[in-house]
Structure 1
Amino acid sequence: MKKILSVVFIFFITNSCKTKEIVPIPPTLAVVSTSELTINSARLSSEISDIGNQYISDYGVVYSETNATPTLADSKISHGAVAASNIVPVKFSDVIQGLKPSTNYYARSYSIIASGVVFGQITTFKTTDIIQPSVKTDAVILVFETSAKLRGIIESKGTYDVSEYGICWSATNAIPTTADFKSSKTNLSVFPTIYTEDANNLTPNTSYYFRAFLVSNGITSYGNVLTFKTLAISQPSIKTLEAKTITVNSVQIRGSVETKGTYDITEYGICWSQRFTTPTTDHSKAKILGNLSTFPTVFTVDINELAQGGIIYYRAYIISNGVTSYSDVLNYTLEVDGFPTLTTDGSINLDNASQRLQATIKTKGNYNISEYGICWSFAVPYPTITDAKISISENSMVFPTTFTVDAKGLQAHVVYFYRAYLISNGAITYGSVKSFIL
Structure 2
Amino acid sequence: MFFPPEVGDVTLYGVTAKTVYAESYIEDSKNIDVDECGFCVYPNDDKTDVRYVKAVLSNGMFSVKIDSLNPGTFYCVKSYARNAVGVGYGDFEKTCKTLFSVADISTNDVLDITPTTAVCGGNVTSDGGLQVIERGVCWSTSPNPTINNNKTINGTGIGSFTSNITNLTNETTYYVRAYATNSMGTAYGEEKSFLTTAKPTISTSEVTNISFTTATCGGNITSDGGAEVTACGVCWSTSLNPTTSNSHTFNGTGIGSYLSYLTELAPSTTYYVRAYATNSAGTSYGDLKQFTTLAINAPTVQTNAASSITTTEATLSGNVISDGGNTVTMRGFLYGTSSNTLSLGIQSGSGIGNFTSNITGLTPNTTYYYKAYAINSVGTSYGDLKQFTTECNCGMSVTDYDGNTYGTVQIGNQCWMAQNLKTTHFADGTYIATGTTTSSTTAYRYNPNNDSNNVSTYGYLYNWPAAMHDASSSSTNTSNVQGVCPNGWHLPSDAEWTQLTDYLSSHNEYLCDPSTIKIAKSLASTTYWNSSNVTCTVGYHPAENNSSGFGALPAGYYSNGYYEFSGNANFWSSTRSGDYAYYRALYYNSASIGRSYGNNNIGFSVRCVRD
Q: TM-score, normalised by structure 2?
A: 0.32
Which structure has more relative contact order (CA 8 Å, sep 6+)? It is: 1
Q: TM-score, normalised by structure 1?
A: 0.43
Question: 1 or 2, which has the higher strand percentage?
Answer: 1
